[in-house]
Every structure is written in C-alpha cells, then in structure tokens.
Amino acid sequence: MPVTSADSSPEPAARPAAPSGPLLEPSAHPGRESTGFAVTARHGEKARAGVITTPHGEIATPAFVPVGTKATVKAVLPESMADLGAQALLANAYHLYLQPGHDLVDEAGGLGAFMNWPGPTYTDSGGFQVMSLGAGFRKVLSSEFSGGEKARTASGEDDAVAEGKERLAHVDDDGVTFRSFINGDEHRFTPEVSMQIQHGLGADIMFAFDELTTLMNSRGYQERALERTRLWALRCLAEHARLTAERTHRPYQQLWGVIQGAQYEDLRRQAARDLGAMDVEGWSFDGFGIGGALEKENLGTIVGWVTDELPEDRPRHLLGISEVDDLFTAIAAGADTFDCVSPSRVARNSAVYTRTGRVNLTGARYRRQFSPIDETCDCYTCTHYTAAYVHHLFRAKEMLSSTLCTIHNERFVVRLVDEIRAALGTGDFDALREERTGAYYGSPR
C-alpha cells in the first residue's frame, strides 16, 4: 500500500508508538538468560577477545560477520560459509522487508531456518539502505555496508549513490518515507516498523533504527539527527519489549543500539553515554553498533571515543569494515564484531585478497599460474583450484568464478580476524599487526 504522508498507515500495519500497559520484565522471556557476552582476554588499553552467546550458538570475538543481504551470501552455499569458518551471517532488513517480506520469513521459522543457516544471525535496522538511497554520500567506510548492487563501480570501490539517482528518502521526526528500489512504490519506516520487521525476520542480533547522516551535513544537522536517533532508540526499546512479550514462543533476540555522531567527539561521546545508560522500564541495549560516516584516517580515534563511554560488559559491532588495516585499528580501539559486503562484492569483480595485497585475477599474469591464488591460503578454492583456472572462469564469464572467489575472500577476512583473536590471547597482537599490514600494504600500518 503506498504511503502518501507521515500520517498515513505504514506497511506493515501501524501500531502504537508506545505500549499502553506496563512492559514485560526483561527476565520474563525464557531465552533472555541464555544470551550474553563475556570478555575472555584483553590486550593494551582497549582490545579484547570474548564470547557472545545467542540461542543459535556462540560467537568468539573479535569476529568478522559476512553479509548475506537477501538471506544469501551471493553465489555461496550456507554450508560453504560454515566450512570457511563464518560464525554468523548478517542480512539486510530493508531488502527482506521488500522481498519476500518479514512475515513470510517469520512463517518459515526465522532467517536462519529459512536459509538453512543453523548459526547466529544479525539483521541491520534497514536505516542505512533506506537513507542512503539518493542521498549525496561521498565515499565513507560505512558505504561499504550497503547491500545494494547500485553502489558498485567499475573499480570495485563503493560510493553509496549511483549516477543520476534522485533523492528517494525523506526523513522526519517520526520516521523515513522512501521508495522501493525494486518498483518505486512508496514505503515508510519508523522505529516501531523496523522492530516489527526485525522481530519477524528473527535474527539473534538486531539493531535499533537510527538516522544516518553524511560527513557533508552541517554540525547543526548532526545535532538534530543525533537527538532524533536518541528518541528513536527509546521507541525501539519500548517496541522491542512489547514484541518480545508477544513472542515468547520464539528465541530471544538481542537489540543493539547504534551510536552516531559523525566526526564530532562531543556528539559521539554523548551518544555513547546516552545509549549506554538508556533504560526503558528495565529494558536496555544488549550491545551496540557504531555507525555512520567514518573517514578511514579517523576510524581508530572515533571508535576509541565511543568505546571510552560504552559499558565494558556489552559487545560492540562496527558496521561496514573489512580492510586489513581497518580491522586491526578497530579491534585495537575496542570493537568486537564487524560486517562488510566488500569481500563478496569485489570477488564477483575478480578482485581477491592475498597475503601481499589485493589483486585482480583477470590480469594476464594469472593465465598460466598453475598454483593457488594465494599459497598461504587454506580455503576450499586455494586447496582445490589454480589461479589459472579461476582466471579462465572470469574470462569465460562463468558463474563459478564468483563462487570460488567469494569463498576465498570471505575465508581471507574470517581467518585474519581469527588470527587476531588468537593473538589477543597470546599477547602477540602488535607483532601480528606489523607483520600482516606490512605484507599487505608494503609497510606496517
């Protein structure tokens, strides 16, 4: 049903912004007590290893969480994702809301059951895709988080706006009205709608609905957007409590608040303090996401401001990173989990990560490389196929090229983060960072 103004009924059916009666006690959900987070090792000022417990299993952190935008990591079986060591997968609420619809996924038993992935799952709030459509984003790290194919450019790098696009999303204090990327139909997301969609999708870890800004927004706009995100966070907690009470037949779903504030130290710190202490009748966030516009050179600084202020006993997810140096920087600054669409997106464009940097397999030098893409890689592709064969697949435009390269790239990032986690336990983090960034970029970072 098209929506024409902020007062119209959103899809799905409108529900009250705040529950009318008292909320369920957080402990009243039978699954709540079996979820949580424990720190198992620390290194330096901020870095830590730990374990997130969900109804679908544990996630040893730091962990890289591959993105399966539409309930599939493109071109790769869920079984292969498990084999390559992925501990959890993240799907995009926006895409699954539009197709096939969260009610259908709910009927199927939730995201994991629907896609035959028995492990933990995450969904984002839908806010990033909704708000990045048509906004004049410059290249920021978080633009990598977009699941939209329209963000792809020939270089494999991402910019969140496609050429010639009109602005397709309008934000007001109550929510966001936007047009479907599939057929142009108008839809509306509010904090309550995002919670209803994510409860329907049934992921173990969900994110609060937040307003995404860009580095080009004015300071004044950033302040107003941040206040809006704070008020939306309160509404998300209330709706999450109501839905959890309604859905005790389902496994408990964690809700993580998202810290915005762009490049401003005072805004980031304030947002982290506000959401870290937020409490709606005993309901608080189970963890936190760090979102929004982050320039690569400020990544560690900004994550550091936020983790300074957040409670130590809850996990932190950094949205949209997978570069080798960014992972070390974010983990050193106290982030625990990460997602990114890049490893699979660039793989489909023939770009692969190797110990000594990123390369493109369509290059003539691979035509007769009858050895693996990367001799040091233990992935299924590198243990069964040669670079020459994958080069041929790309030249011949065969679909198997995407499968083999995605397996390789996802394994590369998952394994790197696994190695970092091990190094946090043995005190070798700094040595590993120097070695791996040195090999990848030519000099340590």
Report, as residue numbers or ranges, the catalytic residues: 124, 339
Per CB under 5 A, 408 contacts Zn ion: yes
The one-letter code for the residue type at 134 is G
* Complex with Zn ion: residue 189 or 385, whichever CB lies closer: 385
DSSP-assigned beta bridge partners for residue 254: 205
CA distances from 121 to 100, 243, 340 (A): 18, 18, 14
- Give the nearest distance from C-beta 360 to Zn ion in angstroms: 15
- Give the nearest distance from C-beta 188 to Zn ion in angstroms: 43
- Give the nearest distance from C-beta 160 to Zn ion in angstroms: 29
Per CB under 5 A, 377 contacts Zn ion: yes
Contacts with Zn ion by CB under 5 A: the residue count is 5
Per CB under 5 A, 84 contacts Zn ion: no
* Complex with Zn ion: residue 271 or 382, whichever CB lies closer: 382
Per CB under 5 A, 347 contacts Zn ion: no
Cα-flanking dihedrals φ and ψ of residue 65, to 5°? -110, 105
* Complex with Zn ion: residue 299 or 379, whichever CB lies closer: 379
Give the range of 105-113, 259-267, 302-310, 378-386 binding Zn ion by CB under 5 A.
Answer: 378-386
- Give the nearest distance from C-beta 390 to Zn ion in angstroms: 10
Per CB under 5 A, 413 contacts Zn ion: no
* Complex with Zn ion: residue 73 or 382, whichever CB lies closer: 382
Give the range of 13-21, 124-132, 408-416, 431-439 binding Zn ion by CB under 5 A.
Answer: 408-416
Give the range of 202-210, 225-233, 258-266, 401-409 binding Zn ion by CB under 5 A.
Answer: 401-409
d(CA 364, CA 378): 24
Q: Encode 23-46: b = buried (16+ Cβ within 10 Å), e = exposed.
A: bbebeebeebeebbbeeebebeeb
Give the range of 249-257, 260-268, 315-323, 371-379 binding Zn ion by CB under 5 A.
Answer: 371-379
DSSP-derived pairing of the beta strands 254-259 and 205-207: parallel
* Complex with Zn ion: residue 271 or 413, whichever CB lies closer: 413
**Tokens 């009610």 belong to which residue?**
103
Task: For residue 184, count other CB atoms closer than 10 A to its CB.
Answer: 9
Per CB under 5 A, 352 contacts Zn ion: no
DSSP-assigned beta bridge partners for residue 47: 43
d(CA 241, CA 227): 22
Per CB under 5 A, 90 contacts Zn ion: no
Contact 352, 408 (CB under 8 A): yes
Q: Dihedral sign for Cα 265, 36, 334, 160, please.
A: negative
* Complex with Zn ion: residue 111 or 347, whichever CB lies closer: 347
Per CB under 5 A, 179 contacts Zn ion: no
- Give the nearest distance from C-beta 320 to Zn ion in angstroms: 23
Give the range of 35-43, 243-251, 372-380, 415-423 binding Zn ion by CB under 5 A.
Answer: 372-380
Give the range of 115-123, 342-350, 357-365, 404-412 binding Zn ion by CB under 5 A.
Answer: 404-412
Per CB under 5 A, 195 contacts Zn ion: no
- Give the nearest distance from C-beta 346 to Zn ion in angstroms: 14
* Complex with Zn ion: residue 235 or 436, whichever CB lies closer: 436
* Complex with Zn ion: residue 52 or 382, whichever CB lies closer: 382
Tokens at 305, concatenated: 């401001």
* Complex with Zn ion: residue 6 or 82, whichever CB lies closer: 82
Contact 206, 256 (CB under 8 A): yes
d(CA 102, CA 415): 32
Expressed in angstroms, the distance from the first to the final Cα of the chain is: 51
- Give the nearest distance from C-beta 408 to Zn ion in angstroms: 4
- Give the nearest distance from C-beta 138 to Zn ion in angstroms: 33
For residues 23, 28, 31, 33, the Cα torsion angle rounded to the nearest 10 degrees is 110
Per CB under 5 A, 410 contacts Zn ion: no
- Give the nearest distance from C-beta 430 to Zn ion in angstroms: 26
Per CB under 5 A, 76 contacts Zn ion: no
Binding string, 379-398, against Zn ion, x = CB under 5 A? x-xx----------------
Contacting positions for Zn ion (CB under 5 A) = 377, 379, 381-382, 408
